[in-house]
Amino acid sequence: MSLNAIDRREFLKLLGCSSLLLSLPMNSGCRGPATTPVSVAMVKNSDDAYSVKRAIELAGGLDFLHPGDSVLLKLALNSSNPFPATTSPVVVSELIGLLKKLHAGKIYVGDKSPAWQDTLDCMEKTGIYQAAVDAGAEVVVFDDEDMVPVKPENASHWPQGFSMPGIFNRVDHIIVLPTLRTHSLAGFTMGMKIFVGALPQTDRYSMHSSPLFLKAIAEIALCTDKFRLSLLDARQGFNSEGPDSGNLISPGIVIASRDLVAADAVGLALLKASGTTEPLCYIPVWNHPTIKRGVRVHSPSLSCATLSLLSEGLDNLDEIKRQLCL
């Protein structure tokens, strides 16, 4: 059932919320003292390469990387449709270049498209394959035969556990490359949901059939401690429908954060500030089940009170902040 096809009351019931939640304090998504600042960078510039580099710099840079370290760039590759339906080859190329300047070792660019898609074909049609190879990276497809069963301690919405690609254990660092999109079932799809592309199809079916799948989405990233950076490409996006197509918007912004949930929260605030689906407009950022569960299991001190926005070139920052503080 599409979220666009249900009314406000039904949507809130689906999310396990009530209309009372809409009037809670602005830091209601926080489960702890507002003491630890979390930085999210937002950069808007006509020079795409500059935006990528500057957003990463403002978010703390790539100083987690030591010479020779291996890095996996996890794509958003749900289809063969071009950016913003999938990760932009421009971002892939620019990021590989930055990593190579810091003397990274093996750089992998990978994903696993849904079973009805051919992953390599999707990479080729979107231009990602050529961009990755030309920049000096190795393209990988997450193979079912290389899946490792896991059962993260706090993944309570995965009672049987799930499987993750073995490469997650073999690399030193994982950087995710989501785009700004609404999703007809999940509401939105960004950094946390990008990890769905790491699951075998059987686990994906299991997740989508669960009545609590919005919370289960947030728990997938618990399968690894290698996550280092979310580089959310919001130069363009979909503010309705999605994930493979929708109403195109052009915020012109690159978002970066070392906190997976914080980047998604800011991306969701940007969607709301840009005008989005009625269901997303009705619920505050911190009350969305995926964000709320993400805060609990990944970033317990995260709230609008601890979130530090570092911006450059934005013309709608006040509205984004307002959406974060509702």
Per residue in 271-284, pLDDT (tens digit) is 999 999 999 999 99
pLDDT of residue 326: 87
Percent of the chain as helix, strand, coil, to the nearest 5: 40, 20, 40
CA 290 to the chain's CA centroid: 11
Strands (E), 122-222: 138-141, 147-150, 162-165, 173-177, 179-183, 187-189
Two structure tokens written together for 43? 């950069």
Strands (E), the chain: 38-44, 71-75, 107-111, 138-141, 147-150, 162-165, 173-177, 179-183, 187-189, 227-241, 246-249, 253-257, 307-312
pLDDT of residue 110: 98
User: What's the DSSP call for residue 22?
Assistant: G
Question: End-to-end alpha-carbon separation of the chain, Å?
Answer: 27
pLDDT, average across residues 50-57: 98
pTM: 0.90
Per residue in 114-131, pLDDT (tens digit) is 999 999 999 999 999 999
CA distance 53 to 301: 27
Structural domains in the chain plus CATH codes: 34-324 (3.40.50.11440)
Give residue for tokens 């197509």: 245
CB 299 within 8 A of CB 31: no
pLDDT of residue 35: 61
From residue 172, give the alpha-carbon distance in Å to each of 55, 180, 279.
Answer: 22, 26, 39
Per residue in 64-118, pLDDT (tens digit) is 999 999 999 999 999 999 999 999 999 999 999 999 999 999 999 999 999 999 9
Longest dimension (CA), the chain: 53
Per residue in 228-272, pLDDT (tens digit) is 999 999 999 999 999 999 999 999 999 999 999 999 999 999 999
What are the residues whose beta carbons fall under 8 Å from the beta carbon of 47, sequence distance 6 or more?
Answer: none
Quick one: what percent of the chain has pLDDT higher than 70?
89
pLDDT above 90: residue 324: yes
